Amino acid sequence: MADLRDYTSLRVGGPAKKFVEVGTEAEIIAAIEAAGDTPILIIGGGTNILVADSGFEGTVIRIKSHSMQAEVDACSGATLTIGAGENWDEFVAVTLDRGFAGLETLSGIPGTVGAAPIQNIGAYGHEVAEFITRVRTYDRQAKGLKTFTNSECEFSYRNSHFKSHPGRYVVLDVQFNLRQGEMTTAITYAELAKKLGIEVGEKAPIDATRKAVLELRGAKGMLLNPSDRDSWSAGSFFTNPIVSKEIAAKLPEGAPQWPTSDGMVKTSAAWLIEHAGVHKGDSHGGARVSTKHVLALTNAGNATATDIAELAKSAQQSVFEKFGITLETEVNLVGLSL
């Protein structure tokens, strides 16, 4: 019986009733069909998940598929089809080495390619939805293959059709379209522009941008490092809240506010947490708020899943009591809730 703490970046989680590792598409589908109608949990890198100490009463399928197909056209750029089990950051590095621009600001995000569309991962002004043309899945309900175009994926901030239908679709591969080039598009994120030594709206070399992003993420404890317990996290635990203009108007002066296209306002979860009285280094049992960034909740060495959930709940309650805003988890909770 596999202990799931050995397969997650938080290094917590109890046993799986059944655990299988698969590589090929045929193996993935066979494992899903063998599970029948019983619960399944798909994991890749295990970097965006908090599993209960009691474990998972079903089949855990760990996908380790590695495949990359590329078609390059001088006009349309590169069309890349990538297996779900491919390591995300290694894939990003390969694209840049081959002279394909676009994914550089998404460098250093932990996890696999298959998880990217589910969460619609994003950072420093870009989301993966901008570059995905197709997602091929296995539909557990229809018991067959289902391919989604970009629009059918229903991408939104840290969300997608797949995330809205948990347990139904298993991503098999993802198709990306990237342009050929050595420069980024306009850098819109002020922190990244400052790091690159340019003004917002200017462009930068893609390799320099990747290096800058990795340095920024590392300084925030957002790069996994086996020897640094302050990085034993699942990345940002909460998403940035999107609230009405009325709620945003009640926030204190200095609270970050970014208008969205649908008339709402996005604000910073990290800012809310810090201004609600939560501090870097705060702890509960073996769980600790990272000393580098308040959005990262870490395993200081002997944490349980319950410790981490209680620490998250405390931060969530503090923000609600101070600002009336309920923080939503970016991390997927399995077998527990806040």
- Predicted confidence (pLDDT) per residue in 252-305, tens digit: 999 999 999 899 999 999 999 999 999 999 999 999 999 999 999 999 989 999
pLDDT at site 226: 83
How many Cβ atoms are within 10 Å of 25's Cβ, its own excluded? 18
pLDDT digits (tens, 9 = 90+) for 197-209: 999 999 999 999 9
- Provide the token pair at 258: 């970014």
| 253 given a catalytic annotation | no
How many Cβ atoms are within 10 Å of 123's Cβ, its own excluded? 20
| 318 given a catalytic annotation | no
Percentage of the chain beyond pLDDT 70 is: 99
pLDDT at site 74: 65
- Provide the token pair at 267: 């604000």
| 158 given a catalytic annotation | yes
**Contact call for residues 329 and 313 (beta carbons, < 8 A):** no
Greatest C-alpha distance within the chain: 56
SS3 271: helix
**158, 210, 217, 229: the active-site residue:** 158
What are the start-end ranges of the E strands in the chain?
16-22, 40-43, 49-51, 56-63, 68-73, 77-83, 100-101, 122-123, 126-127, 132-139, 144-149, 169-180, 233-236, 242-243, 258-259, 265-266, 283-284, 287-289, 296-299, 332-334
**236, 288, 290, 318: the active-site residue:** 236
